[in-house]
Structure 1
Amino acid sequence: MESHMNYQMIVQDQFVIPSILLKSYHQLKLSETEVMVILHIHRFQMEGNKFPTPEDIAQYTSISGQECTKILRTLIQKNILVIEQEENENKLLSECYSLEPLWVTLYKGDQSSQPPVQDTNDQQSNIFILFEQEFGRPLSPFEIETVNIWIDEEEQAPALIKAALREAVLMGKLNFRYIDRILREWKKKGIKSVEQARNQSKQFHANQSGQPDKQKQTTAARDVSLYYNWLEDE
């Protein structure tokens, strides 16, 4: 008895993998596991799921959901993957992954004239390490994307982002919304260097000297060594 293959089903089940990714991923310092996660994200999006969870991806791989979360975080740090917001027909916002930074890097033409992706990652990696040390936990993909937005879209200097983090720690308000407020306030005031930010912070804290004792105690409860590291010595 002859078996007949449903070739139409085979054709419809095809998934296009960009050959340039397979040829160039090692130059981007990507591991095979990271590439597999990228391909699954691409596949999910082709199937209509624009924001698959780590568990969604992990079920088709040999890694756990927790390991997948770490890989997603690394891909965002490497500026291979970003999280964007899009508006549907009902004007509701939803999050989605975008691989555009990866495609731009792969297809931008003469890569020899561009700085290596790893160099950019090395320059920014200390920021993520510092944030995770202060928060006492790994950053979420959304938090990593927030830092990338500060650097890439809002063109905030990494040194200023670190300074804003230190100021938030000093004030006892360790959250991304407060750090974002600090950066926006500095930008509005034309502050572009750490020295200018330090002077602004000194002036702010000097103005707080007449506030109620309760707020003074809250500020004093912070690490004094960090206070002097930030305001007196880089």
Structure 2
Amino acid sequence: MKNHFELFMRDQMTLSKRLIMRYRQLGLDETELIVILQLLRFQSDGIMFPTPSEMARYTSFDEQVVSRSLRQMMQKNLMTIEEINNGEGIVDEYYSFELIFNALYTKEEPKRTTPTDQSVEVFKQFEREFGRVLSPIEIETINIWLDEDHYDVTLIQQALREAVLLSKLNFKYIDRILQEWQKKGVKSVDQAKQAGKKYHQHQTAPDKAPREKVDPAIYYNWLDDAED
């Protein structure tokens, strides 16, 4: 028994009592708390960026639940993904809990946001189309589209549809579409559809028919130029 107790005492990690006591005040639920504890455990072992699948192995949750918890915490501005140079010219990602611990040990409350039904549906739609759980980087990309680039939810969904129809299902391609729509002042799904329709009509018009002069800058062919 003594040897077991010594092993138990050596096999410890430091946890914040304040986190255990105040997690609900930060807008966290028990599932998210367990995910945080697992992330801290992984990081204490030197694994700074575990996948949802890896974390799910040590909980009663499946991969989808872990992924959703990560997404929700990032949407609530309680957790971020940061980058660090490992000194060998390679950039590694890691989960940062700085916002959570700042809120726990200062009077400053985190700027929490409540995800809308529309934004939640965007993540579900991407997972349905990709046929898998989104990676943390992909979740962060969608959050950037919503929170920093301020793309309309419906435009993000339309860009995803474009990518699906053309078998270009990757985030780089979808991001390229959104950037070009923003540059051309496209702000609604109808405008996006009209821009694409006019461009393709122009491209497929017979040579003998007089073509309306079209400024290529208006109807940018993101479909041909974007790389996988």
Secondary structure of residue in 2 paired with 1:178: helix
Instruction: Please list every run of 5 or more consecutive structure 2 residues that lacks an aligned counterpart in the other structure.
Output: 207-228
Pairwise CA distance, 1:181? 0.8
Give the share of equivalent positions with the same residue, in percent: 39
Residue in 2 that maps onto 1:84? 82
Match of 1:40 among 35, 38, 50: 38
One of 180, 186, 192 as aligned partner of 1:191:
186
Per the TM alignment, residue 163 of structure 1 is displaced from its structure 2 partner at its CA by: 1.5
Distance in 2 between residues matched to 1:72 and 1:208, nearest whole Å? 46
Residues 104, 134 of structure 1: alpha-carbon distance in 2 compared, 3 angstrom cutoff:
farther
Structure 1: runs of 5+ lacking an equivalent:
212-234
Letter in 2 for 1:97: Y
- CA distance in structure 2 between the partners assigned to 1:45 and 1:15 by the alignment: 12
- Kindly tell me: are residues 136 and 53 of structure 1, through their superposed partners in 2, closer, same or farther at Cα, counting changes over 3 Å? closer
CA-to-aligned-CA distance 1:2-38 (integer Å, 9 cap, x gap): xxx98xx9699551325155324377252x2431220
User: Which residue of the partner structure matches residue 170 of structure 1?
Assistant: 165
State the distance in 1 between where 2:142 and 2:65 align.
Answer: 17
Output the amino acid matched with 2:37: L
1:38-78 C-alpha deviation (Å, 9 max, x unpaired) = 0221243355431134565456x4437xx2x3233112321
Give me the TM-score of the superposition, normalised by structure 2: 0.67
Distance (Å, rounded) in 1 between the aligned partners of 2:55 and 2:169: 32
What secondary structure, in the 3-state scheme, does the structure 1 residue paired with 2:193 have?
helix
Cα distance, 1:201–1:49 mapped onto 2, change above 3 Å = same
1:179 matched to which residue of 2? Answer: 174
The reply on whether 1:63 has 2:57 as its aligned counterpart is no
Distance 1:105 1:134, change over 3 A: farther
Structure-to-structure mapping, 1:1-234, within 5 angstroms: 13=12, 15-17=14-16, 19-20=18-19, 22-25=21-24, 28=27, 30=29, 32-46=30-44, 48-54=46-52, 57=55, 61-63=58-60, 67=62, 69-78=63-72, 79=74, 80-100=78-98, 102-103=100-101, 109=108, 117=113, 119-120=114-115, 122-210=117-205
Q: RMSD across aligned C-alpha pairs, in angstroms? A: 3.6
Give the distance between the partners of 2:99 and 2:154, measured in 1 at CA: 23
Q: State the shift of 1:131 in Å.
A: 1.6
| Counterpart-to-counterpart distance in 2, 1:158 and 1:168 | 16
Give the whole-Å Cα distance in 1 for the aligned partners of 2:121 and 2:20: 27
Structure 1 CA distance for aligned equivalents of residues 14 and 109 of structure 2: 27
How many residue pairs match? The answer is 198
CA contact (8 A) 2:103 2:109 kept: no
Higher mean C-alpha deviation, range 169-178 or range 48-57: 48-57
- If each structure's helix is expressed as a fraction of its own residues, which one has the higher value? 1
Quick one: structure 1 residues 33 and 180, their matched pair in 2 at CA, closer, same or farther if it must change by over 3 Å?
same
Structure 1-normalised TM-score? 0.66
